[in-house]
Amino acid sequence: MEHAKGGSPDGSGPAVSDAIPEPFRSRLREQLAQVNWWVFSYHPRLHRVRRYVDAHPGNPIRLADAAAMASFERKRFCMYFRAKVGITWVGWVRLLRMHRAAQLFAEQDHSVSEVRRAIGIRDSRSFERTFKRILGVTPSEFKKTVWRHRG
């Protein structure tokens, strides 16, 4: 994934692949636009957390671990993160994971369970609910649409 300002040229956060068909691409861009990506470049504590999350996309990411990386206790980290980034820690991690899932579906013919595991989610129901909340369709429906558009 591309980094915010200081890591990517425009500081806009992760790029949304053109392989992701409309209207999903626009919906994902709208979701990603809710995040203040530039804060990761000038808040060293948040930058450390962002680097770790980007480097370990398939690993479970616990709040306690993120808080420790940022040298905060958990409650203070949650408040700080939301105030600076614009969405909650949990919301941000979910958004990044669903963005990565959409990219994986668009790049190759991965199964839903392969993608779920690749982004660090164990529970299939949770993955389906979250994916649908962010992209508007289930992972299976998304995958079918992507491959129909490819021809």
Local confidence band at 1 (pLDDT 50, 70, 90 cut-offs): very low
Question: What integer pLDDT is reported at residue 60 of this predicted model?
Answer: 84
Helix (H, G, I), strand (E, B) or coil at 151: coil
Question: What integer pLDDT is reported at residue 5 of this predicted model?
Answer: 32
Average pLDDT, the chain: 90
* 58-117 pLDDT tens trace: 888 899 999 999 999 999 999 999 999 999 999 999 999 999 999 999 999 999 999 999
Local confidence band at 143 (pLDDT 50, 70, 90 cut-offs): very high
Q: What are phi and psi of 8, to 5 degrees?
A: -115, 155
The mean per-residue pLDDT over the stretch 30-40 comes to 95
Q: Distances from the Cα of 95 to the Cαs of 48, 71, 119, 125, 130, in angstroms? A: 18, 23, 11, 16, 9
- Of 64, 136, 50, 135, the closest CA to residue 93 belongs to 50
Question: What integer pLDDT is reported at residue 57 of this predicted model?
Answer: 85
Question: What integer pLDDT is reported at residue 11 of this predicted model?
Answer: 58
Local confidence band at 147 (pLDDT 50, 70, 90 cut-offs): confident
The mean per-residue pLDDT over the stretch 17-27 comes to 93
Question: What integer pLDDT is reported at residue 8 of this predicted model?
Answer: 44
Rounded CA-CA distance 49/16 in Å is 21
Contact at 8 Å (CB) between 131 and 98? Answer: yes
Contact at 8 Å (CB) between 146 and 19? Answer: yes
The mean per-residue pLDDT over the stretch 138-148 comes to 93
CA 24-7-114 angle, to 5 degrees, is 45
Name all domains of the chain by residue range, CATH numbers in brackets.
Answer: 24-150 (1.10.10.60)
Q: Does residue 2 carry a pLDDT above 50? A: no
